[in-house]
Structure 1
Amino acid sequence: MLKTNVGAVDRVIRAAVGLVLIALAVFGQGMTWGWVGVIPLATALVSYCPAYSLLGMNTCGRKA
């Protein structure tokens, strides 16, 4: 199982950004934005960010 490295506030921001980017694609601003929006939405849903692991970052309040 992946260790959680995305905190609650970070998850909310990621989910919001992901949904906005997907909405841009749905409403005609280019399909690329929809695919880009999947990344922050997915990382918010699983509470794990591979980039954070590579950089040694953790936004959780507890040790993961």
Structure 2
Amino acid sequence: MITDQQLNSLAIFLGTLMMGLIVLYHFLSVNDQDTGSKSTEEGAEKASKHKLSIVGAK
């Protein structure tokens, strides 16, 4: 059977590991500029073309 001390150590280890992985995920997602900036530029380009088609300009 698992003791209280072993359960405490396991909970602290898993909690620390989880927080470390969350920080790593956020660090990687914030610094991922290749895919994020490309999709933003494409979206702005499409919106601009759509706006121009509504106004009637070419």
TM tier, shorter chain?
0.3 to 0.5
From the CA coordinates, give the structure whose radius of gyration is larger: 2
- Name whichever structure is richer in helix by fraction: 2
Question: TM-score, normalising length from structure 2?
Answer: 0.40
The structure showing larger relative contact order (alpha-carbon pairs under 8 Å, at least 6 residues apart) is 1
Question: TM-score, normalising length from structure 1?
Answer: 0.37
